[in-house]
Amino acid sequence: MGMEQCFTDDVTVGVGGEGATAMSVFGFAIEIREGKSCDVESDVTVLLTEEEGTPLEIDGNPIRVQVATGLHADMPSSGFTWVWSGCAPGDEADGRHRIMVVVEISRIGRFEGPGITPRCGQPGTGSSFSELAS
C-alpha cells in the first residue's frame, strides 16, 4: 500500500442488498474519485436493522472487519459482500420483514443502503449473518 489514507472526499461508497426467500446478500463498494490515489485502512461495521433503526437480533450482527486496500487508477474500486440466512426474529409464516443495512467505515463515514424485504420461508429457524467474500 504506502499511499495516504483515504478520507470522505477521496471516495464514493455504495451500499446495497438483495433479498430472496430465507437468504439475503448485502454489500458495499468503495470507489476512488477521479484523479485520486489512497489507501483504505479502516475498521468497518456492517449492521442489519429494522426499518426504524433497531438492530436485528441475529447471530453475527453486527459484523466488524478490518479493510486494507489501495485504490488508484489501475484498481479504482473494491467491494465486500455478506450473506444473511434465515428469518428475522418475530417473522411468521410467509412473513416479510423490512431490513436496512448500515455500513460504518472509520475515517470515511456512515452509509445506509436502501431497505429490502426478504421473504421468510421457515419461521422459527436459526438465523446468521456472515462474510461471503471480500
> For residue 21, is pLDDT > 70?
no
Mean pLDDT over 77-98 rounds to: 73
Predicted TM-score (pTM) above 0.85: no
Does the residue 96 lie in any domain?
Answer: yes
2 or 1, which is more confident? 2
What is the 3 state secondary structure string of 29-88? Answer: EEEECCCCCEEEEEEEEEEEEECCCCECCCECCCEEEEEEEEEECCECEEEEEEEEECCC
111 lies in some domain: yes
CATH of the domain at 56: 2.60.40.10
Q: What is the pLDDT of residue 97?
A: 67
pLDDT at 92: 57
Structural domain total, the chain: 1
> Would 37 be classed as within a structural domain?
yes
Q: Measured between alpha carbons, how far is 39 from 70 in angstroms, rounded to an integer? A: 4
Burial class (CB in 10 A: 0-12, 13-18, 19+), 48: buried
Structural domain contains residue 70:
yes
The total of other beta-carbon atoms located within 10 Å of residue 45's CB is 14
Q: Within a domain: residue 68?
A: yes
Range of the domain at 104: 8-133
Over residues 41-61, the mean pLDDT reads 88
Q: Is residue 3 part of a domain?
A: no
Residue 108 lies in a domain: yes
Note whether residue 29 is domain-resident.
yes
114 grid coordinates: 436502501
